[in-house]
Amino acid sequence: MTICEGGSAESWALKPIQALMKRVFDLVFALLGLTLVWWLIVIAWLAATIDTRSNGFFIQKRVGRNGSTFRVVKIKTMRPVASFDTTVTSRVDPRITPLGAFFRRTKIDELPQLWNVFVGDMSFVGPRPDVPGFADQLQGEERAMLSIRPGITGPATLKYRDEEEILAAQANPEAYNRDVIWPDKVRINLDYIRDWSLRLDVQYIFQTVFH
């Protein structure tokens, strides 16, 4: 699968001034966000701890910038279910608790990622951070997608905001994710890097919050 055309992966990276603008924006607004919603994160963590009977924070290894791994932090929305082991989640996933479904629907489960943004693991906007086996397997020019920090939201995230419903309708959700959704996300994210602007980042954030 080759989606980019022309140039090396490095040639697709943001210019230094663009990368600086993006990082300063992330730092300022991640700090502001944490200041405003820390109390909601604490309440959600306590509720999830009671709901799942385990630590209310979900911490998982994800692939980040330049293929390095980091630990993403979210509010836990699932309980383990025997004989159900997959990294692909659909709307009808039996592991999702009723409270977890509410956290997912309202995006409260994403709030702890403000910390990941603040410390530099993530950005507000970029490709979603995947578990090992997807982004870290990209080859050639497609590795340009690893030239930026993964994001809480982005154009691919917005297009597939109903991804769990889409996967729930498939006979083989894992295969559909691997063969259809993932390649399309790669294409969208490469276009995002090529056409990056701070104005578009702000636009994607507003679309995520208010749509």
Q: Domain for residue 5, yes or no?
A: no
Tell me if 210 sits within 8 A of 181, measured CB to CB: no
Is residue 171 domain-resident? yes
Q: What confidence score (pLDDT) does residue 1 get?
A: 39
Contacts of 104 (CB under 8 A, 6+ apart): 77, 96
| Whole-angstrom distance, CA of residue 140 vs CA of residue 2 | 8
CB-side exposure of 67: number of CA atoms within 13 Å? Answer: 10
* Mean pLDDT along residues 128-142: 84
Contact 89, 31 (CB under 8 A): no
Per-residue pLDDT averaged across 52-56, rounded? Answer: 94
Regarding predicted confidence, which is higher, 211 or 161?
Answer: 161
Q: Per-residue pLDDT tens for 67-125?
A: 899 999 999 998 877 666 665 555 567 788 999 999 998 999 999 999 999 999 999 99
User: Which neighbouring-strand residues pair with 73?
Assistant: 59
User: What is the pLDDT averaged over residues 151-174?
Assistant: 90
List the domain range (segments joined by +) for residue 121: 12-210
**151 pLDDT exceeds 90?**
yes
Q: What tens digit of pLDDT does each residue of 11-35 get?
A: 567 999 999 999 999 999 999 999 9
61 assigned to some structural domain: yes
- Does 56 have pLDDT greater than 70? yes
Question: Tell me, what's the pLDDT at 132?
Answer: 86
Assess if residue 169 is contained within a domain: yes
- Lowest average pLDDT, out of 3-12, 46-55, 88-97, 167-176, goes to 3-12
State the average pLDDT for the chain: 89
With respect to residue 200, please indicate whether it lies within any of the assigned structural domains: yes
What is the percent of the chain where pLDDT is above 70?
A: 89
The reply to whether 188 falls in a domain is yes
Position 96 scores a pLDDT of: 86
User: Is residue 27, in this structure, part of any structural domain at all?
Assistant: yes
Structurally, the chain folds into a number of domains equal to 1
Q: Please write the tens of the pLDDT for every residue from 33-44.
A: 999 999 999 999
Query: Cα-atom radius of gyration of the chain, to the nearest Å?
Result: 17
Classify residue 53: in a domain, yes or no.
yes
Examine the pLDDT at 199 and tell me if it is beyond 80: yes
